[in-house]
Amino acid sequence: MTQNPLLSAPSFPAFDQIKAEHVLPALEKTLTECREQLTQLGASKTTASWDNFVEPLENLDERLEKVWSPVSHLNAIADSPELREAVQKALPLLSDYAAQMGQDKALYQRFEALADSTEFASLDIAQKTLVNNQLRDFKLSGVTLPAKDQKTYKKLSSELSKLCNQYDQNVLDATQAWSLHITNEADLAGLPDTAIAAAKQLAQNDGKDEGWLFNLQAPSFIPFLTSADNRALREQLYTAYSTRASDQGPHAGKWDNTDTMAQILAKRQQLAKLLGFEHYAQYSLETKMAKDVAEVEAFLIELAQHSRKLAKEEDAQLQAFAQELDGIDQLQVWDRSYYAEKLKLRLFDFSEEQLRAYFPLPKVLSGLFTTVQKLFGIEVREATAPPLWHEDVQFFEIVDKQGALRGSFYLDLYAREAKRGGAWMADCSNRRVTGKDIQHPVAFLNCNFSRPTGDQPALLRHDDVITLFHEFGHGLHHMLTQVDVASVAGISGVPWDAVELPSQFLENWCWSREALDLISGHVDSGEPLPDELLDKMLKGKNFHAALQMLRQVEFALFDIRLHSQSGQQQDSQAVLEAVRKEVSVTQPPAFNRFAHAFSHIFAGGYAAGYYSYKWAEVLSADAFSRFEEEGLFNAAVGQDFLQHILEKGGSEPPAQLFAQFRGRAPSIEALLRHSGLL
C-alpha cells in the first residue's frame, strides 16, 4: 500500500502528493495513537517533570500538527468538493480530541503537581508560561465540570467547529458564484488600464470569447468601485458584494448564513455559561490583554470620540464634492469610494492607480527584504523549494548575521479560484528544540494580488504594499522567535489583542522616504518614487482617516457587544444597526448584510476580539515612535525590537515586553497623531 503522505512526517509537507482521500485515514490513525499515549501519560505514577510529562505532550501536539497543518492550508488555498467533504468530517474528530484532552483530569492534576513541585522553580520562563497557560486552558476547557456538563461541552465544541467551517464555505461559495460580464466597452469608462487588462484575462480564463469579467475578489472589486463611471454597474457590484451569503441580493437565500450565525452565537453563549461566564466575551477575554468588556468598550468609544467630529466634516466635504462634480444630491454607498478617489485626486493630485507603476512586485519584494535586513540584521533569500501546491508559489529562507537558519516561508501572492479572499499568515510548523535538535519555524504567507498581465510583472497598489508588509510582520514574529517551546514560540501563546503588533508596526516603513527608495522603482525606468509624488502621498495619507477609524470602531464594537449579550437569541443585524447609529456618520442601505460575510468573528478566530486590531495599533504606533525619535533604520533600536518583541513570542506578557522595549507603558498619543486625529 502506498504510504500516506500525511503520515510520512517529512521536513516539509508533500503538497505534490496530498489528496483529499488521505485526510481522514491519516487523522484517525494519528488521533488513535495520540489518545493511547495520553492515557499512558495520565496514568503514570512517576512524579511529573518537564522531561517525562510536558515534553511528551508537546510531541503529541507536534505530531498532530504535522497532519493537520497542510490540510488546513490546502482547505484555504485549493478548495475542492472532495477536500471540503474530508475537512467537514475531520473537524468533529479534532474537536472531540481537543475537548477530551482539555477535560482529562489526570493530565490536569499532573500539571498542578508540576506547578507545585520544586522543579517548577528551575524551569525557564517559556516553560513556566506553558505550564501556567495549560492550567488556565484546562479550566477553560471544562476540566472541573461534572461529567454530564463535560459531555455538553464536547458536543458544543464539535458543533461550533462544523458551523464555523460551514459559515466560511458559504462565504467562499457566494463570492465565487457571482461575476459581471461586460461586453460593451463604454461600460469600462473610468477604469484604469490595469483593471481592464485583468478583467480581459479573467474573461479568457473563464472561456468567454469576448468582453471583460469582474468578480467579487478584491483585485477586481476594488478598482471597479473606485473608478468605474457607470453608477448602475457600481451599484450592482456593491449589492452583490454586500449581500454575500445572506437573505438579500442576487443570490438571496442561497448559501445564506443567517441561521448558521444564529447557531454559532447561541452555542458560544451556551458554552460560556456552562463554564460559569456571564457571556462569551467574558470567556474570550480570559486569554487577552484587556481585562473586561467595559475596558474594551471604553477604549473603542474613546477612539470614536476623537474621530466623530472630523468624520462628519470629511463626509460633508465628500457630499459637497459629489454635488459640485455630478449634481449628486445624496451619495449612496456605491458612490463613496468613487468620489473619494476623485476628491483625493483633486486635493492631492494623485491616485492609487498612478502609484502602481512604481510598485512592480519583484522590486517591492526585494525592497521589503532589504528593509528587514537593515532593521534586524537578517537576510531573506530564495531557496530550493520543497513540494508546492501551485506554480505561483515561491519559497524563501531567513538567516541571521552568523548565517544560521532562523526560519523559512512559502509565498503565495496572487488571487485565483478556489483560494479564499484576503491576506493572512499561517504557521506550517513552530520552532521547537528537543535535545540538540532544532526544528526551525515555517510559515505560509498568502495574499490576493492582481496577477501579471502580458509581459509586465504584477503592479501593486500602495495599499497592496502595506498588506504585504503587514503579513510579513506576522511572518517575522513567527520565524524569528528564539523560544524553544513550541506552545509559546512565535505567535503561539501571544494574547490575541497583541498579536497584530509586529504586523502593524512593519507597515510604517511603507511611508518613509528611506524605505520607499528600496521598495519602489518604475516598471519601465526603474526610477524610485519621485519626491513630488511622495509628498502628495504623505499629504493624502490621512485622507478620510476619521471615517476609516469609525469604520473599524463600528466593526469592533459590533463584535464585542454581539458576544456580550447574556440572552440566548442574538439578532446580529439589530446589534449592528444599533452600533452604526451610535458611532457611524453614514448608514448603508437596508439590504446590506455585512455580518453575513464577517469571517473574522464567525470563522476566523476574532470572536470578541476584533478590537485587537486597534488595541495592537496603539502598541505598534507607540513602538514605531521610538524609531521616529532615534532613526528609522537605527540598527540598535531594531535589535531591541527583535530581542524584546519578535524573539520572545508568547513566552512573556506582552505589556511587560513592550515596556522593556519602550521603557514605559504604551500611550494612545502616537496612534492619534499618526492618524491625524489630534
What residues in the chain have per-residue pLDDT under 70? 1, 567-569
486-533 pLDDT, tens per residue? Answer: 999 999 999 999 999 999 999 999 999 999 999 999 999 999 999 999
Residues in the chain: 678
The single-letter DSSP state of residue 53 is: I
pLDDT (0 to 100) of residue 565 = 85
> Known catalytic residue: 471?
yes
Yes or no: say if 665 and 655 are a contact pair by the CB < 8 Å rule. yes
Residues of the chain with CATH 1.10.1370.10: 258-355+545-602
Which three cell numbers, joined as nine digits, stand for 252?
Answer: 438571496
Please work out, in degrees rounded to the nearest 5, the angle formed at the alpha carbon of residue 207 by the alpha carbons of 205 and 210.
100
pLDDT (0 to 100) of residue 567 = 62
pLDDT (0 to 100) of residue 568 = 56
Yes or no: say if 348 and 539 are a contact pair by the CB < 8 Å rule. yes
Question: Cell 468605474, residue?
Answer: 228
pTM for the full predicted model: 0.91
240-to-187, 257, 261, 521, 597 alpha-carbon distances in Å = 18, 15, 19, 36, 12
188-to-199, 203, 231 alpha-carbon distances in Å = 10, 14, 11
Pick from 375, 608, 345: nearest CA to 512:
375
CATH number of 258-355+545-602: 1.10.1370.10
Residues of the chain with CATH 1.10.1370.40: 361-542+612-674
Sign of CA dihedral 384, 388, 394, 400: negative
Pick from 425, 553, 536: nearest CA to 491:
425
439-to-11, 60, 451, 489 alpha-carbon distances in Å = 9, 15, 34, 11
Yes or no: say if 675 and 542 are a contact pair by the CB < 8 Å rule. yes
pLDDT (0 to 100) of residue 131 = 98
610-647 pLDDT, tens per residue? Answer: 999 999 999 999 999 999 999 999 999 999 999 999 99
Catalytic pick among 353, 471, 554, 647: 471
Give the CA diameter of the chain: 82
Q: Give me the architecture of the 361-542+612-674 domain, per CATH.
A: Orthogonal Bundle (1.10)
Pick from 465, 414, 493, 479: nearest CA to 201:
414
Pick from 453, 437, 231, 414: nearest CA to 322:
231
Element (H, E) at 444: strand 442-449
What is the residue-wise DSSP string for 529-596? PPHHHHHHHHHHTTTTHHHHHHHHHHHHHHHHHHTT--SS---HHHHHHHHHHHH-SS---TT--GGG
pLDDT (0 to 100) of residue 367 = 97
- Between β-strands 405-414 and 442-449, what pairing exists: parallel, antiparallel or unpaired? parallel
pLDDT (0 to 100) of residue 453 = 85
pLDDT (0 to 100) of residue 436 = 85
DSSP-based three-state secondary structure for 229: coil
Which three cell numbers, joined as nine digits, stand for 181?
Answer: 460580464
* Residues sharing a CB contact under 8 Å with residue 605, sequence separation 6 or more, in sequence order: 496
CATH H superfamily, domain 20-144:
Endopeptidase. Chain P; domain 1 (1.20.1050.40)
Helices (H), 103-253: 105-115, 125-140, 147-177, 193-205, 218-227, 231-242
The packing angle between helices 361-376 and 462-479, to 10°, is 40
Residues of the chain with CATH 1.20.1050.40: 20-144
